[in-house]
Amino acid sequence: MDLTWTDAEEAFRADARTWLVDHLAEWHDRFDGDIRSGDTRDGFAQHLVWERMLFDDRWAVVSWPEAYGGRDASLWEWLIFEEEYYRSGGPQRVTQNGIFLLAPSIFEFGTEEQQNGILRRMAAGDDLWCQGWSEPNAGSDLASLRSRATKVDGGWRLNGQKTWTTRGAFCTHLFGLFRSDPESERHKGLTYLLVPLDLDGVTVRGFSRLDGDEGFAEVFFEDAFLPDEVAYGSPVLGGVDGGWGVAMATTSSERGLTLRSPGRFMATADRLLELWKERGGPAQLRDRVVDAWLRAEAYRVQTLQTVTNTIEGRPAGAETSLVKLWWSELDVELHELALDLLGEDAELDGPWVKGWQFSLSGPIYAGTNEVQRNIAAERVLGLPRR
């Protein structure tokens, strides 16, 4: 494997770096440096301003076609952009559930009308998408979901409840799984629907997370009528009753590549190293810092392998479960180490504490780590189910 970047890739990196440094400063200045969390209503609005700055200069979705606001960049360049993004201290992407989770499935399964109607508006932050999969009694066991889509004249009647919908209270659209065939069971008879949240009969109720931010919502559907024809054509992605296959493609993106690029963890590992240099500590802590930094670097190299495989036509399968274990456990470790280094000063350090609180959710979202271990055991290692 050749781990060097070409001149063109280095030039792309330099462009990205310069743009990010200049524009992040401009964005911070706009709000006098008082940037709130993107999981609060005010902070979300501030982050949308940032998203539109990215979009205007075609940095929002670099690997997408130009027609949708991208640069037709290669996956390598996307990785480079991500490295520079997190290195420069770029903020959380409040459009992430759309651009990183839904979009890959729209590219794969969407009709031309859906692609044209959805992607550019998503990249520009005009339409804001949230993920409506989990329900009060269907999380890990997603196939037991009970929200229903009933076919009626000219559309669908939606009933049921979704929960843990990230930033749902601030979004305009939801991509969700609904049971469309009441006679079917489990993975069969589910339909993947693209739902505008302003339909009559849809209620979105925000609620707070552990850290107090209103980052979650419950979404209630009470006989909501979803027409067969919406602004982007059909609201059905991938065929009636064919939702499970589309959903599994989405989870592959979520766990494997698009949601958590290594740039994010390398930047945290580098900040941890700086903290170590500033504060020092016992040898045992030093060894843990080195070990965590190496695991972040190893994750980066492993991702280069994943990208190579993807480009050569070998998309990731069940092994994305191992990738998910890797990044989520690494993130907890990096933040725990920072808190150990800070000692009692940790209480005063907002960013590390906030980062640590969020890292604790990594082993839960995108499929819990216990379930990922089951998948890895059965489908990667070939161990028996019992």
Q: Which residues are catalytic?
A: 254
Least distance to ligand FAD from the beta carbon of 383, Å? 14
364 binds ligand FAD (CB under 6 A): yes
Determine which residue in the list 165, 191, 268, 303 makes contact with ligand FAD, applying CB under 6 A: 165
Instruction: Determine the size of the site formed for ligand FAD (CB under 6 A).
Output: 19
Cα separation of the two ends of the chain: 39
Considering only the stretches 23-31, 103-111, 160-168, 263-271, report the one whose residues sit in contact with ligand FAD under the rule CB under 6 A.
Answer: 160-168
- Our CB check for ligand FAD shows the closer of 71 and 255 to be 255
Using CA atoms, how far apart are residues 251 and 321, in angstroms rounded to an integer?
10
Q: Name the phi and psi angles at 363, rounded to 5.
A: -70, -5
Task: Give the CB-nearest residue to ligand FAD.
Answer: 139
96-127 burial code (b ≥16 CB/10 A, e <16): bbbbbbbbbbbeebbeeebbebbbbbbbbbeb
370 binds ligand FAD (CB under 6 A): yes
Least distance to ligand FAD from the beta carbon of 216, Å? 7
374 binds ligand FAD (CB under 6 A): yes
Using CA atoms, how far apart are residues 163 and 134, in angstroms rounded to an integer?
6
Determine which residue in the list 368, 377, 378, 380 makes contact with ligand FAD, applying CB under 6 A: 368
Least distance to ligand FAD from the beta carbon of 122, Å? 15
65-76 burial code (b ≥16 CB/10 A, e <16): eeebbbbebbbb
Task: Identify the DSSP state of 129.
Answer: E
Least distance to ligand FAD from the beta carbon of 274, Å? 27
- Our CB check for ligand FAD shows the closer of 268 and 359 to be 359
- Our CB check for ligand FAD shows the closer of 59 and 221 to be 221
326 binds ligand FAD (CB under 6 A): no
In order of 132, 145, 217, 358, the CA distances from 142 in angstroms are 11, 6, 18, 23
| Residues 195-224: x where in contact with ligand FAD by CB under 6 A, - otherwise, as a string | ------------------------------
Least distance to ligand FAD from the beta carbon of 61, Å? 19
Using CA atoms, how far apart are residues 276 and 279, in angstroms rounded to an integer?
5
| E strand or H helix at 368 | none
Least distance to ligand FAD from the beta carbon of 366, Å? 7
Considering only the stretches 3-11, 40-48, 337-345, 361-369, report the one whose residues sit in contact with ligand FAD under the rule CB under 6 A.
Answer: 361-369
Using CA atoms, how far apart are residues 95 and 60, in angstroms rounded to an integer?
9
Query: Between residue 137 and residue 156, which ones bind ligand FAD under the rule CB under 6 A?
Result: 139-140
CB-neighbour burial class of residue 317 (10 A; exposed 0-12, middle 13-18, buried 19+): exposed
Q: Name the phi and psi angles at 236, rounded to 5.
A: -90, 125
Q: Is 179 left (phi over 0), alpha (psi -120 to 50) or beta?
A: beta
Q: Which residues bind ligand FAD (CB under 6 A)?
A: 97, 130-134, 139-140, 164-166, 361, 364-365, 367-368, 370-371, 374
